[in-house]
Amino acid sequence: MSCDELRDGYELYALGVLEDPERSELREHLGRGCEVCVAGVKRAREAMAVLAETVPPVAPPPRLRRRILASVGVERSRWWVTPMWVGISLSCLVAAFYYAGREHSLGIQMARVQTQSRQLLEEAARLNEALALLNQPETKQVTFGEGAPKPPRGRVFVNPRQGVLLLASNLPPAPPGKIYEMWIIPKGGNPVPAGLFQSDAEGAAMHLRRGPVDVAATGAVAVTLEAEGGAPQPTSTPLIVAAL
């Protein structure tokens, strides 16, 4: 066959669906380095590569990245969030209550275990969500408090689809009757409440505001100390300001 006769088969060959006799003929042309057919098949591969981009976007689950990387030893699973460790922790709790709680009724023990298990599972879910946001390539990261005379310090991660994650250190626990409130501040607009949180005894805090964020329209993320229950607008000077 001539190159002209084979021309219509370049793309189908590139896709692996060309049938004989055209397939064998084209292979023969390529095998002897036929310039016309080699160039034609190269163009066909380019065209077929572009077709991959016409598919509707579907986001892979965040666990897939971890799974692939773990398979070549890049990232091990975080021991503190795996279901296995949650299960082990629960077993330890059950055992502790079983052996030490003879003076209490079985009902009280079970209620405590249930509360502890719920807290563990909620914490594991929250950490998994945070890790998922951190793992997204489009997540934007800004630091705050660097070089400031007084703490707190930390980072804010903003993902257009998943939300805003705040990680802070040196943030003392809010005093009784008070709580920390996060704000998303649009460029040229009023702060929008983004949830309440408390820091732990060591001054560490993690707060996640779930949901889409218009990153380009956001000027900053801030944190203020507010009365328990929060406020619709900030009532005190921000303790944290992370400019995007």
Partner 1 sequence: MTLLPLLLAAGLSEGDRELAERLQRREPEALAELYDRYGRLAYALIYRIVRDTGAAEDLVQETFLRVWNRAQGFDAGKGSLGPWLLAVARNRAIDYLRSTSGRLRNALELEETEHPSHFLDLEKQILNSDMVRRVKGAFARLSENQRAVIELAYFEGLSQTEMAERMGQPLGTVKTWVRTALQILRDELGAAVSA
- Chain positions contacting partner 1, by CB under 8 A: 8, 11-12, 14-19, 42-43, 45-61, 64-65, 67-69, 71-75, 137-138
Q: Which is nearer to partner 1, 137 or 149 (CB)?
A: 137
Closer CB to partner 1, residue 55 or residue 201? 55
Rounded-to-integer distance, Cα 174 and Cα 198, Å: 6
Cβ proximity to partner 1, 18 vs 223, nearer residue: 18
Minimum separation from the CB atom of position 19 to partner 1 (A):
5
Q: By the 8 A CB rule, do 200 and 173 touch?
A: yes
CB of 243 to partner 1, least distance (A): 23
Residue 45 or 153: the one with the smaller Cβ distance to partner 1 is: 45
Bridge partners for 154 per DSSP: 144, 168
| Minimum distance of partner 1 from residue 3's CB (angstroms) | 15
* C-alpha separations of 39 from 42, 45, 228 in Å: 5, 10, 71
Closest to partner 1 by CB, 72 or 201? 72
Tokens for 83?
Answer: 């279901």
- Rounded least distance, CB 142 to partner 1, Å: 19
**Shortest CB 127 distance to partner 1, Å:** 20
- The sign one gets for the Cα dihedral 112, 117, 120, 121 is negative
C-beta closer to partner 1: residue 10 or 144: 10
Of residues 136, 156, 135, the one with CA closest to residue 206:
156
Backbone angles phi, psi at 77, to 5 degrees: -65, 145
Smallest separation (angstroms) from partner 1 to the CB of 141 = 14
Q: Which is nearer to partner 1, 58 or 201 (CB)?
A: 58
Mutual angle of helices 35-51 and 22-31, in 10-degree steps: 120
Longest dimension (CA), the chain: 94
- Tokens 């009532």, located at residue: 235
Quote the strand ranges of 150-199, DSSP E.
153-159, 163-169, 178-186, 192-197
Amino acid, res. 16: G
Query: Cα(96)–Cα(236) distance, rounded to whole angstroms?
Result: 44
